[in-house]
């Protein structure tokens, strides 16, 4: 299926669009069926969606899109479409180019909806020096300069990042239950590999198949939402960053889940335990930093 200059050939893939203060008309040109999960805070956006007759439900804003996906998976578990494009209303030209999306929007297999051509040189293993003939310049030295970075590209649509949980230190993203990707991964799965790197689609946009979603129970998705929607202080929780990096594992891995992941009551009891662990850990870290500051002042 290809896009011509005059019109789109619409895909049978269902589009599940998380929307925030946009009117995603361009995305709707690609699909026959869709649902907009609108978390807009601007009244004008809701009015525009209504006036244009777009199919949408309005939800509370959690600051990110993953809770919208997971809620839909749980609520429509028995009648999920065969192939779902999970995406954001502002995805085009933010998380991937239109040219890339034109090539993949009808894929019926797991697809990363991410592309950043501008970063290809930055994330490349090596760079040619300025003026190198390979870059269209004059005769260069022929030397190649290695690039050091915590992140890189594996392919045009696959982003890889060192697993450091760096985002937990951001004051904009609080944490209540987990302060480390590895701890959350082991909380969800039995004996998972603790990866040195995370391979994922920044922005959490994918094409995913029904059977990939159904390998997890509805409760699995509802439970994960509980660690991502508890606060906006001032932005979404750091745990949502962790789940974003975990989505390919959630959809593709064969790991066995821990029993509480499919039991809401047991999960909530485990969360209470986790909250206390993190509270004590943060308190200890705060005291440690105070001691360090005192020592530095004395010196």
What confidence tens digit (pLDDT) does each residue in 222-258 have?
999 999 999 888 889 999 999 999 999 999 999 999 9
DSSP state of 244: H
Tell whether 135 is covered by a domain: yes
Q: How confident is the model at residue 30, as a pLDDT? A: 98
What is the rounded CA–CA span in Å between residue 1 and residue 3? 7
**Taking the chain, what is the end-to-end CA distance rounded to the nearest angstrom?**
69
Tally of domains within the chain: 1
- Domain of residue 140: give its range: 120-154
pLDDT band at 125 (very low <50, low <70, confident <90, very high): confident
Q: How confident is the model at residue 6, as a pLDDT? A: 46
Tell whether 144 is covered by a domain: yes
Residue 228 and residue 236 in contact, taking contact as beta carbons nearer than 8 Å? yes
pLDDT, tens digit (0-9, with 9 covering 90-100), for 198-217 = 999 999 999 999 999 999 99
Q: Among residues 147, 145, 20, which one has the least CA distance to residue 87? A: 20
**Structure-block tokens of residue 158:** 């696959």
Residue 250 and residue 216 in contact, taking contact as beta carbons nearer than 8 Å? yes
Tell whether 147 is covered by a domain: yes
Tell whether 148 is covered by a domain: yes
pLDDT band at 25 (very low <50, low <70, confident <90, very high): very high
pLDDT band at 192 (very low <50, low <70, confident <90, very high): very high
Buried residues in 133-164 as b, exposed as e (16+ CB within 10 A): eeeeeeeeeeeeeeeeeeebbeeebebbbebe
Cis preceding-peptide flag for 234 (omega within 30 of 0): yes
Tell whether 131 is covered by a domain: yes
Q: How confident is the model at residue 129, as a pLDDT? A: 58
Q: How confident is the model at residue 5, as a pLDDT? A: 46
Tell whether 264 is covered by a domain: no
pLDDT band at 61 (very low <50, low <70, confident <90, very high): very high
pTM for this entry: 0.87
Tell whether 66 is covered by a domain: no
Tell whether 93 is covered by a domain: no
């Amino acid at each position: 299926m290809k896009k011509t200059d005059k019109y789109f050939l619409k895909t049978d893939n269902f589009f599940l669009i998380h929307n925030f203060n946009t009117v995603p008309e361009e995305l709707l040109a690609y699909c026959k069926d869709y649902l907009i999960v609108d978390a807009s805070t601007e009244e004008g956006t809701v009015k525009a969606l209504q006036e244009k007759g777009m199919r949408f439900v309005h939800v509370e804003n959690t600051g990110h899109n993953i809770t919208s996906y997971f809620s839909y998976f749980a609520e429509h578990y028995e009648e999920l479409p065969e192939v779902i494009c999970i995406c954001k209303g502002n995805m085009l030209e933010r998380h991937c180019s239109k040219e890339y999306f034109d090539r993949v929007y009808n894929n019926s297999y797991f697809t990363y909806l991410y592309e950043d051509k501008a970063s290809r040189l930055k994330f490349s293993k090596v760079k040619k020096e300025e003026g190198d003939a390979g870059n269209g310049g004059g005769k260069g030295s022929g030397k190649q300069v290695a690039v050091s970075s915590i992140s890189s590209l594996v392919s045009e649509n696959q982003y890889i990042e060192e697993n450091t949980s760096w985002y937990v230190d951001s004051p904009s993203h609080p944490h209540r239950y987990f302060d480390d990707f590895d701890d959350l991964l082991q909380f969800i799965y039995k004996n998972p590999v603790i990866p040195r790197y995370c391979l994922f689609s920044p922005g959490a946009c994918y094409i995913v198949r029904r059977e990939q979603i159904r390998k997890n129970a509805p409760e699995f998705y509802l439970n994960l939402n509980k660690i991502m929607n508890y606060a906006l202080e001032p932005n979404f929780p750091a745990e949502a960053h962790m789940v974003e990096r975990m989505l390919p594992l959630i959809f593709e891995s064969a790991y066995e889940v821990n029993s509480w992941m499919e039991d809401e009551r047991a999960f909530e009891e485990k969360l209470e335990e986790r909250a206390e662990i993190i509270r004590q850990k943060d308190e200890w870290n705060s005291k440690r930093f105070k001691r360090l500051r005192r020592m530095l002042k004395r010196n």
